[in-house]
Chain A
Amino acid sequence: MSNTIKNSHISDPPLIIGNQTFKSITDSISRITEIKPPKEWYIFFGLAVSVLLILLGSIGYLFWEGVGIWGLNNPVGWGWAIVNFVFWVGIGHAGTLISAILFLFRQKWRTSINRFAESMTLFAVICALLFPAIHVGRVWLIYYFFPVPNQMGMWPNFRSPLLWDFFAVGTYFTVSLLFWYTGLIPDLATLRDRAKGLRKKVLGFFAIGWRGGNRQWQHYELAYLVLAGLSAPLVLSVHSVVSSDFATGIIPGWHSTIFPPYFVAGAIFSGFAMVMTLAIVARKVYNLEHFITVKHLSLMAKVMLLTGSMVGYSYAMEFFIAWYSGNGFESFAFINRALGNYAWAYWIMVSCNVIVPQFFWSKRLRNNVAFLFVASILVNVGMWFERFVIVVTSLARDYLPSSWDYFSPTIWDIMTFIGSFGLFFTLFLLFIRFLPMIAMAEVKTVLPEADPHHQDNGGKS
């Protein structure tokens, strides 16, 4: 009896389906970068570049005319620029979570989506960094942020959360870039070895002479592990620091210790939604259903269910603390969010972020790709509104009723925000066109043949 249990192999179903071999993985993923893209790519790229032009035009006008073109008014000095900044930084977080935290937990299903998600992180953080840079007003004085010796003998105020934010997001971008590039090196070598002529030279330059020896893999794997170990606390710190921009302020609705964990959960939630939106489109257009399977999407839905519930809990807890604190301003701020001028935004946020993820309890809906696509977009909308509700409703109704005002965006606010999607998608589509969107070397390690003891267990040779 005990003998039969010991000998039976209870194994999980394979992560990569369709009888893949090492060669078929290399071929199907490398080919995407080597042949002319499908016509959908041209349509999306044309659209993305057009929207990018809207962004460039809006920024040009902003630099010419100043931040007065936005809908900012006296109490609401932080409008869409900061909302968009927090929104984009949050989206980036899923990439690091997938590449670093799931790596440390040895969650092998990440290998199909990690390259994808890391690239999304980089491009989202580029979009995020754009907004604080352009909202400073005199953008040519942005170097005031940097601790560089200058003619005025001044140094930045390191005691301010705004400067922490600058360092946190800057470090986050740099570390994400290093992590992404390190992961790409073996795959660039694969592309190099398939290419000819100038393409081979360019890829060879970036592959830095990788030859796959175990003496290289040894250091490489340790470097990758350490980068993952560094990124994991970094990603948790970044959104915590972003939340400090608000939490250290004394505005009712901002001054709250729940902000760091609440922002981090929200960031992961929105980031997974964005990975899902992009992955569902890409797997369809490029026929990658064998690599990014329904199981991957279903697991992402579970993460969204968890983080979405944490976000919902935070909303409830904020209300409870506002009441329990006995602070009149704090209570008013929250009642005003739910019932005041901006109630429409608040209830969009609650419907999208609290109610939508609860459908993921159903296994049938978690495996329904069309439903996941719609849900992921709704979550993105909801998370944008979350930041809008936090930033705008708190500022518009601060302590003194005489200073209250209502914030309405202008056309330039809207065009800059929409334009930032153009920047994001242009970069993302260029990535899909020229770089392997699935980490080939890593996906190969999850095939059963990669295990040197595969044959000992009676597997076919």
Chain B
Amino acid sequence: MKKPLGVLAEFSSSATLMYAAENLRDNGYKKFDCHSPFPIHGMDAAMGMKRSHLGFIIAFFAILGGLIGFGLQSWSHSIAYPIIISGKPYFAWQSYIIITFELFVLFAAFAAVFGMFKLNRLPMFHHPVFYSDRFSPKVTNDGFYVSIEANDPKFEPDSTADFLKSIGGSNVEILEEDA
């Protein structure tokens, strides 16, 4: 007994992939993805995706980093180790700005990269699309693919495969695993 995990179809160009994405969106598919060797401008709208909220994650950590930077400097010069150096006051906040900025940027950069990993659920070393022999050598080279996951409410192996063929997909494969 094989259990279907999804269906995969190949498209010939970025234009046909975009057309397929618009059709899937308009036919109520939700759990599908469009794979391409490079990001395609306008694809987010074609797939009916909302804006990424990575920005909020980055903003949170950036501000946290800035506060930690400023707090660390204020605390060490005013409380932990108050000592006068070259006549500057203990709380010389003007001279703390640079390191505050640096830690703001540092935390924001880590949040951008690891937040992106988190939202993309990376690292993830296996995924049903890799079961296809054609998919992975082509998608990072010159191939354009649509994958629809089996837990999409509209998914039904044969009719979904036929639908993908009708909107221009070729080499349609049903991805399965042994149940």
CA distance A450 to B49 in the complex (A): 20
- Name which of B134-142, B153-161, B170-178 contacts chain A: B134-142
With known contacts A155-B80, A223-B112, A234–B105 Cβ distance under 8 A: yes
Q: Are A209 and B124 in contact (CB under 8 A)?
A: yes
Q: Are B140 and A189 in contact (CB under 8 A)?
A: yes
User: Which residues of chain B come closer than 8 Å to A164, judged between CB atoms?
Assistant: 98-99, 102
Most buried by A among B49, B112, B129, B136: B112
B58 nearest CB neighbor, chain A only: A226
CA distance A144 to B116 in the complex (A): 34
Q: Are B52 and A222 in contact (CB under 8 A)?
A: yes
**Closest approach, in angstroms, between the C-beta of B73 and any C-beta of chain A?**
4
CA distance A163 to B129 in the complex (A): 49
Interface residues of B in 115-172 (CB under 8 A from A): 115-117, 119-120, 122-127, 129-130, 136-137, 139-142, 147
CA distance A226 to B55 in the complex (A): 8
Q: Are A159 and B92 in contact (CB under 8 A)?
A: yes
**Closest approach, in angstroms, between the C-beta of A445 and any C-beta of chain B?**
5
Judge if A453 is at the interface, Cβ distance under 8 Å: yes
> What is the total of A-B residue contacts with beta carbons within 8 Å?
203
Judge if A44 is at the interface, Cβ distance under 8 Å: no
Q: Are A217 and B43 in contact (CB under 8 A)?
A: yes
Interface residues of B in 27-61 (CB under 8 A from A): 33-44, 47, 49, 52, 54-55, 58
Q: Are A159 and B88 in contact (CB under 8 A)?
A: yes
Judge if A178 is at the interface, Cβ distance under 8 Å: yes
**Closest approach, in angstroms, between the C-beta of A204 and any C-beta of chain B?**
7
Q: Are B39 and A209 in contact (CB under 8 A)?
A: no
Q: Are A212 and B116 in contact (CB under 8 A)?
A: no
Chain B interface bracket (under 10, 10 to 19, 20 to 34, 35 or more): 35 or more
With known contacts A158-B77, A219-B52, A226-B112, A209–B34 Cβ distance under 8 A: no
Interface string of A220-261 (1 = CB under 8 A from B): 111100110010011001000100100000000000000000
Judge if A397 is at the interface, Cβ distance under 8 Å: no
User: Which residues of chain B come closer than 8 Å to A452, judged between CB atoms?
Assistant: 13-15, 17-18, 40-43
**Closest approach, in angstroms, between the C-beta of A3 and any C-beta of chain B?**
26
CA distance A179 to B106 in the complex (A): 12
User: Which residues of chain A come closer than 8 Å to B37, judged between CB atoms?
Assistant: 22, 26, 186, 190, 212, 440-441, 444
**Selected contact of A213 from candidates B86, B106, B147, CB within 8 Å:** B147
Interface string of B18-32 (1 = CB under 8 A from A): 100100000000000
Q: Are B113 and A227 in contact (CB under 8 A)?
A: yes
Q: Are B99 and A220 in contact (CB under 8 A)?
A: no
CA distance A148 to B177 in the complex (A): 52
User: Which residues of chain B come closer than 8 Å to A441, judged between CB atoms?
Assistant: 37-39
**Selected contact of A171 from candidates B72, B106, B123, B147, CB within 8 Å:** B106
Interface string of A68-86 (1 = CB under 8 A from B): 0000000000000000000
With known contacts A168-B102, A171-B102, A223-B115, A211–B108 Cβ distance under 8 A: no
Judge if A306 is at the interface, Cβ distance under 8 Å: no
User: Which residues of chain A come closer than 8 Å to B105, judged between CB atoms?
Assistant: 171, 175, 230, 233-234
**Selected contact of B116 from candidates A182, A213, A453, A454, CB within 8 Å:** A182
Ranked 10 nearest A-B pairs via Cβ:
A22-B142, A208-B123, A223-B116, A213-B33, A155-B76, A190-B140, A217-B39, A158-B73, A452-B18, A164-B98
| With A26-B141, A155-B77, A167-B98 already in contact, 14 other A-B pairs whose C-beta atoms are closer than 8 Å | A26-B37, A158-B76, A163-B99, A164-B99, A179-B109, A186-B37, A211-B130, A214-B34, A214-B40, A220-B39, A222-B55, A223-B54, A234-B105, A452-B42
27 contacts across the A-B interface (CB closer than 8 A): A23-B141, A23-B142, A26-B141, A26-B142, A158-B96, A160-B85, A164-B99, A167-B99, A167-B102, A171-B103, A178-B113, A181-B113, A194-B137, A214-B34, A214-B43, A215-B33, A219-B119, A223-B115, A226-B55, A241-B98, A244-B98, A441-B37, A441-B38, A444-B37, A450-B14, A452-B41, A461-B13
